[in-house]
Structure 1
Amino acid sequence: MEEEILEGKLFATFEGHGDFSKLQQSCLELDLFENPSEEDDMKEYFLFKRIFDMLDEYQEQSYLLDPYLESLVVPVVESLRTHTKVSVAKNRRGSPKRVERLARLLYSYIKLRGYKTISQFILSFHCEPSEQKTVRFFPHEIADLSIALEALVSPAGLIHEPFQWALRYVVLVWLSLVCIIPFDLAQFDEVDRAGYTMDSLESSAKVFLGKAGLDREGAALLLSRLYMRKDASSRFPEFLEWSKIQIDKNADIFMTIGILQVLCEVMNSASVEQVRLRASQIFEITDATDKKPLSSNAVVRKFRIKLLSRAALRLLPAPLIGRRKGRVLTGNDINEDCVQELNIDVPEEVEQVLEQLFEALQDRDTIVRWSAAKGVARISERLPLEFADQVLETIMGLFSIHSITAASLYDLPATAESPWHGACLACAEMARRSLVASKRLPELIEWLSKALYFDLRKGAHSIGANVRDAAAYVLWALARTQDPASLESYSQNLARHLTTVALYDREIHIRRAASAAFQEHVGRNVSVGAARMIAANDKKL
């Protein structure tokens, strides 16, 4: 009963900040170099457990902690930094349990707000826009590189204990932040060992790249930040060759996921020239992961699709100004954007990537379809309008794959669920970016009206809830981006369907989605109707 009440509770602020700060201060006062007795260890266990439970209550409203993050995170980071510094200087291990719990506390903050927010946070809640300042909670001084690196490579350090996963993740994230500071890593090398610092960072991260836990994510982040440096960019081609060998020979699932994570991060932040020069090697790696047994893993397929999408984006120019403002260009618009579109040359590699994304929209796993849908829409945003319209036409063709032989919606085979869901997700992402032309609305809304009732019997249960949810998402996106006048002729039909689903669908999240879409359409249409009434009254006057 208490869990049900807690689950439905919504907070307006960080209510337990005072008690939480006192509990955390008690934890920070513990000596990290002294091993506790059994009685003290048990007390400390429950103390940290209470802290973790309090943080978990704000998992869905983590933004409420933003005003207090600096005062909460910085002391924990400084305590771990001091322990690491003393451990490296005096070769002392400290208390494994206390260090592990403190590292888990810092990881809890990262889990709550994300590593990007914790490592770099904008204090905008008490500053004017012109006075906003960037605060890095993690230490980022030049001297920190030697401290963190020595803790990582030291064979006798606590970081190599099997249960110290949180400490390893924190140190790897710490190093990834230090790596982006613009200073030459060669200044940390010993006189007779040129390149030692960079070699140590790369080799240590590669060791953790094949792990199954968070170590892999931290190592992938560190390697990606390392290869984005100018003085380390020459190592990126070697990493691509090494990655290809690892995937071809070992075919290890965890190592493959780690490699794909590194490449996805590099594609997202590296220079355009760096990506374009190595595009062929990147596509060779994606082709290698499309073979069994790697292709049978959903996470591998997800990161493969994400890598393909990001690589294709780097081969295309940035979105046009008109589209950035959420405006669809029509054939009557003669402006600079149209002239720019005439000069866009779509590489052949992009067309090949789109074909693979269309196949991924029909994948059996939702995470793969979702990644493919976002990739298709982001690529289409950078294509000429005529090409983007062809992409939308191909997506809508997925609805008819299994519909030709079916007499009605309920006669569709169970395999139709994946194509319909992928098509709805892709249409929603296209609609959000204003890439749905008015001439496509009749066909699209006809398919969406059927998708709202997609419900197939499979054995003792029904499938299709995700299709109905995605269909409501498309209609919501159309209401926000399309001209209300273009949707006016469909308003009554859509209102009837959305009201029916909002009232009678057995899934609560679908009823909420349909209700949100209905409200969005009503708000837009009412605004247009009110404007027309005002204009009509002005004419009479």
Structure 2
Amino acid sequence: MDTTGNSSSLSTYLNPEEDDEHDTKERVLLRYFLQEWALVKSILDRIVANDGATIPSDVNKIRFVIDKYQEQGQLLEPYLESIVNPLMSLVHSKSMQLRVDTDDVLDIIKPICIIIYSLVTVCGYKSVIRFFPHQVSDFEIAVTLLEKCHIGNSLTSLRQESTGEMETKCVTLLWLYILVLIPFDISSVDTSIVNSNQLGGLEPSPLVIKILEISKDHLSSSGPMRRFSGLVLSRLLTRPDMSMAFVRPSYA
């Protein structure tokens, strides 16, 4: 029996790089990502085990792997849930601690958001945000994170990029983008309102005002923050309970 053909196939399977030139780009990239997934998964497991603590080399390794698939983001989509879920769970849990120790918490959140934002640039935001937390109680948490990031807005854009501030703002805006669609009374989750009678009629709650002010500031910036702020505002201001926001002079 002639086993030449089978031997050739087995050789190609064991040494896939030998047949790369005869394969499609997509199949080659998928093959190599399957090999790199073990590295990505081990780093993710380490980040989760360390309660979100990261080292720059780990973040850079994951970014390097993700960025290689810039033109073939669909190859990463089967793995998005496994990457985004644990990372956004960390962002969520750490954001709940922001009122206690802001700087230290943000130092943990920013590198995580760098990884998440890398996925956004490669796979598209619509694919990534499907795996963001989206409970009503998350709304105030996300606004608090956005506000804390906005406080350091005096930093230069270069520094924002190098420290993960830009990525954190973008991820948080996308988080709010899905949360504002949930049908609920925003004032009901605003803990700054001691008494609901403080709001007159359909006047926006303090949480809404914060989003409007911060998003308007980002509209004057260049890059993705302008785009994502526009997405948040378009969804927020078209909510049925936001009709009065259109006629308030401060936010018109």
Q: Which residue identity does 1:171 align to in structure 2?
A: T
The alpha-carbon deviation at position 60 of structure 1 amounts to 1.4
Judged with a 3 Å threshold, the aligned counterparts in structure 2 of structure 1 residues 107 and 241 are, in CA distance, closer, same or farther, namely: closer
Q: Which residue identity does 1:118 align to in structure 2?
A: V
Residue 43 of structure 2 is aligned to residue 19 of structure 1: no
Tell whether the 8 Å contact from 1:208 to 1:219 is kept in structure 2 after alignment: yes
**Equivalent position SS for 2:87:** helix
Q: Which residue identity does 2:29 align to in structure 1?
A: F
Partner of 1:153: 147
Residue 181 of structure 2 is aligned to residue 170 of structure 1: no
**Equivalent position SS for 1:87:** coil
Instruction: Write out aligned runs for 1:262-301 (5 A).
Output: none
Partner of 2:3: none
Q: Which residue identity does 1:115 align to in structure 2?
A: Y
The alpha-carbon deviation at position 111 of structure 1 amounts to 1.1
**Equivalent position SS for 1:93:** helix
Instruction: Write out aligned runs for 1:456-471 (5 A).
Output: none
Tell whether the 8 Å contact from 2:142 to 2:176 is kept in structure 1 after alignment: yes
The alpha-carbon deviation at position 239 of structure 1 amounts to 8.1
Judged with a 3 Å threshold, the aligned counterparts in structure 2 of structure 1 residues 158 and 85 are, in CA distance, closer, same or farther, namely: farther
Q: Give the distance between the partners of 1:106 and 1:155, measured in 2 at CA.
A: 16
The alpha-carbon deviation at position 151 of structure 1 amounts to 2.4
Q: Give the distance between the partners of 1:241 and 1:105, measured in 2 at CA.
A: 33
Q: Give the distance between the partners of 2:222 and 2:132, measured in 1 at CA.
A: 25
The alpha-carbon deviation at position 68 of structure 1 amounts to 1.6
Tell whether the 8 Å contact from 1:159 to 1:167 is kept in structure 2 after alignment: no
Tell whether the 8 Å contact from 2:149 to 2:168 is kept in structure 1 after alignment: no
The alpha-carbon deviation at position 152 of structure 1 amounts to 2.3
Residue 122 of structure 2 is aligned to residue 102 of structure 1: no
Partner of 1:75: 86
Judged with a 3 Å threshold, the aligned counterparts in structure 2 of structure 1 residues 51 and 239 are, in CA distance, closer, same or farther, namely: farther
Tell whether the 8 Å contact from 1:52 to 1:105 is kept in structure 2 after alignment: yes
Q: Which residue identity does 2:179 align to in structure 1?
A: V
Q: Give the distance between the partners of 1:241 and 1:92, measured in 2 at CA.
A: 28
Partner of 1:539: none
Q: Which residue identity does 1:24 align to in structure 2?
A: L
Provide Cα deviations, 1:305-343, integer angstroms capped at 9, x if missing partner.
Answer: xxxxxxxxxxxxxxxxxxxxxxxxxxxxxxxxxxxxxxx
Larger radius of gyration: 1
The alpha-carbon deviation at position 187 of structure 1 amounts to 1.6
The alpha-carbon deviation at position 98 of structure 1 amounts to 4.2
Q: Give the distance between the partners of 1:239 and 1:21, measured in 2 at CA.
A: 50
The alpha-carbon deviation at position 209 of structure 1 amounts to 1.5
Tell whether the 8 Å contact from 1:103 to 1:166 is kept in structure 2 after alignment: yes
Consecutive unaligned residues of structure 1, counting only runs of 5 or more, are: 35-40, 121-136, 243-541
Partner of 2:214: 204
Q: Give the distance between the partners of 1:21 and 1:239, measured in 2 at CA.
A: 50
User: 2:138 pairs with 138, 141, 144, which one?
Assistant: 144
Q: Which residue identity does 1:53 align to in structure 2?
A: F
Q: Give the distance between the partners of 2:167 and 2:224, measured in 1 at CA.
A: 8
Q: Give the distance between the partners of 1:204 and 1:95, measured in 2 at CA.
A: 20
Q: Give the distance between the partners of 2:247 and 2:136, measured in 1 at CA.
A: 27
| Paired residue total | 211
Provide Cα deviations, 1:72-120, integer angstroms capped at 9, x if missing partner.
Answer: 11011111111111123x2432165543221110101111111111122
Partner of 1:222: 232
Q: Give the distance between the partners of 1:100 and 1:141, measured in 2 at CA.
A: 22
Judged with a 3 Å threshold, the aligned counterparts in structure 2 of structure 1 residues 146 and 225 are, in CA distance, closer, same or farther, namely: same
Provide Cα deviations, 1:129-168, integer angstroms capped at 9, x if missing partner.
Answer: xxxxxxxx11111111111112223489678765211111
The alpha-carbon deviation at position 12 of structure 1 amounts to 3.6
Partner of 2:180: 179
Q: Give the distance between the partners of 1:55 and 1:23, measured in 2 at CA.
A: 13
Q: Give the distance between the partners of 1:202 and 1:113, measured in 2 at CA.
A: 28
Q: Which residue identity does 1:11 align to in structure 2?
A: L
Tell whether the 8 Å contact from 1:169 to 1:218 is kept in structure 2 after alignment: yes
The alpha-carbon deviation at position 186 of structure 1 amounts to 2.6
Partner of 1:423: none
Provide Cα deviations, 1:408-460, integer angstroms capped at 9, x if missing partner.
Answer: xxxxxxxxxxxxxxxxxxxxxxxxxxxxxxxxxxxxxxxxxxxxxxxxxxxxx
Tell whether the 8 Å contact from 1:152 to 1:171 is kept in structure 2 after alignment: yes
Q: Give the distance between the partners of 1:157 and 1:240, measured in 2 at CA.
A: 20
Partner of 2:5: none
**Equivalent position SS for 2:184:** coil
Q: Which residue identity does 2:48 align to in structure 1?
A: L
Consecutive unaligned residues of structure 2, counting only runs of 5 or more, are: 1-19, 200-204
Tell whether the 8 Å contact from 1:202 to 1:223 is kept in structure 2 after alignment: yes
Q: Which residue identity does 1:180 align to in structure 2?
A: L
User: 1:92 pairs with 99, 102, 110, which one?
Assistant: 102
Tell whether the 8 Å contact from 2:218 to 2:226 is kept in structure 1 after alignment: yes
The alpha-carbon deviation at position 65 of structure 1 amounts to 1.5
**Equivalent position SS for 1:11:** helix
The alpha-carbon deviation at position 193 of structure 1 amounts to 3.9
Identical-residue share of aligned pairs (%):
25
The alpha-carbon deviation at position 70 of structure 1 amounts to 0.9
**Equivalent position SS for 1:139:** coil
User: Normalized against structure 1, the TM-score is what?
Assistant: 0.36
Q: Which residue identity does 2:180 align to in structure 1?
A: C
